[in-house]
């Protein structure tokens, strides 16, 4: 039987690239996001493998967990990729600092970027344990350094997701579940700021954007048997941007 992965935020960008990679490697791919999913020439998902849910509604996450568990039936879950994330900016593309962010702004970001990954992993823990599976959280270069466009609430949420990765790796090691993170730099997706081109030149030693496929390769590696002794790691995929 094929292995199964659940990927959040796979309707576009990095998540779509991760879904294409797992599909190409012969895995069954389940996805979750707010919009319906449209495939392309390499991957045509079926409607019943996509769960429509707004992760800002973390309070009601048990509703979508029930749907996912129903779909899985008795099948173990080999991998969970917590990829969905939001990085709201000001209309001119500038970052939002502490002074510019009220409680609702912080809560929205933490619901999607931190609480949803924790609660999804919690709900799917039995299926992941049954598979001796892997979790990969998508963090960000903002964990390693202050970023000119990503705001303080976003950076804080990704640092929290890095901490959550460490805590879950420690907690779940006894269950045979490995938990790691992939930290992208500037990857060519719609989340980028209109000013990204400026910092690729000044901040990225390799002087180019990364592609969703390059993040997908790292995520796939961490979910594969080739990474069987790796847990609690954060793999930086950023063309040297942290240096
Ligand atoms: N691109 C980069 O340079 C970069 C750098 C560092 C880190 N990252 C991280 O990588 C991950 C993917 O980023 P990306 O660049 O691919 O972003 P993106 O193109 O904006 O895609 C974000 C994905 O998340 C989903 N999503 C957003 N809000 C959601 C919500 N409330 N509930 C459910 N799904 C939601 C979106 O789908 P729907 O609209 O259908 O809901 C979409 O599929 C994020 O965690 C981001 O923080 C990206």
For position 160, which CATH number holds? Answer: 3.40.50.720
- Residue 101 counted as domain residue: yes
Contact 24, 3 (CB under 8 A): no
According to DSSP, the residues that pair with 187 across neighbouring strands are 210
Q: Is residue 209 part of a domain?
A: yes
Please state which of the ranges 102-111, 152-161, 193-202 shows the lowest mean pLDDT.
193-202
Among 47, 53, 58, 84, residue to substitute to test ligand 1 (most atoms within 8 Å of Cβ): 84
Q: What CA–CA distance (Å, rounded) separates 198 from 113?
A: 26
Enumerate the β-bridge partners of residue 181.
137, 234
Does residue 192 have its Cβ closer than 6 Å to ligand 1? yes
For residue 82, the SS3 value is: strand
What is the spatial distance between Cα 101 and Cα 211, in angstroms, rounded to a whole number?
Answer: 30
229 domain-assigned: yes
In a domain, 208, yes or no: yes
Residue 146 within any structural domain of the chain:
yes
Residue 243 domain flag: no
Q: Is the pLDDT of residue 172 over 80?
A: yes
Can you give the residue range of the structural domain that contains 18? Answer: 4-237
- Whether 133 shows a pLDDT value over 90: the answer reads yes
pTM over 0.95? The answer is: yes
Q: Which helix (H) or strand (E) holds 235?
A: strand 234-237
Give domain status of residue 16, yes or no. Answer: yes
Helices (H), 10-143: 13-24, 61-72, 103-110, 116-131
- Both structure tokens of 110: 């933490």
The residue nearest atom 13 of ligand 1, judged by CA position, is 14
| Domains: count for the chain | 1
Pocket test for ligand 1, best of 6, 9, 204 (most atoms within 8 A of CB): 9
In this prediction, residue 80 has a pLDDT band, given cuts at 50, 70 and 90, of: very high
132: left (phi over 0), alpha (psi -120 to 50) or beta: left
d(CA 2, CA 78): 10
242 within a domain of the structure (yes/no): no
The Cα 179–Cα 166 span in angstroms is: 8
């Amino acid at each position: 039987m094929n292995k199964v992965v659940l990927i959040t935020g796979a309707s576009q960008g990095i998540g779509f690239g991760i879904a294409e990679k797992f599909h190409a490697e012969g895995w069954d791919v389940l996805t979750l996001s707010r919009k319906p999913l449209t495939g392309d020439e390499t991957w045509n998902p079926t409607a019943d493998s996509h769960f429509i849910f707004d992760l800002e509604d973390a309070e009601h996450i048990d509703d979508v967990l029930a749907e996912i568990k129903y779909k899985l039936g008795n099948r173990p879950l080999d991998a969970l990729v917590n990829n969905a994330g939001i990085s709201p900016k000001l209309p001119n593309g500038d970052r939002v600092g502490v002074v510019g962010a009220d409680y609702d702004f912080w809560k929205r970001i933490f619901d999607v970027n931190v609480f949803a990954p924790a609660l999804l992993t919690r709900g799917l823990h039995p299926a992941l344990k049954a598979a001796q599976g892997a979790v990969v959280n998508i963090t960000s270069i903002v964990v390693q350094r202050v970023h000119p466009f990503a705001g303080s609430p976003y950076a804080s949420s990704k640092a929290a997701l890095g901490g959550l990765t460490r805590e879950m790796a420690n907690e779940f090691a006894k269950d045979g579940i490995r938990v790691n993170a992939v930290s992208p730099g500037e990857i060519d997706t719609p989340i980028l700021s209109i000013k990204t081109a400026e910092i690729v030149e000044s901040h990225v030693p390799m002087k180019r954007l990364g592609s969703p496929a390059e993040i997908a390769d790292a995520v796939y590696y961490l979910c594969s048997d080739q990474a069987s002794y790796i847990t609690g790691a954060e793999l930086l995929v950023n063309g040297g941007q942290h240096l």
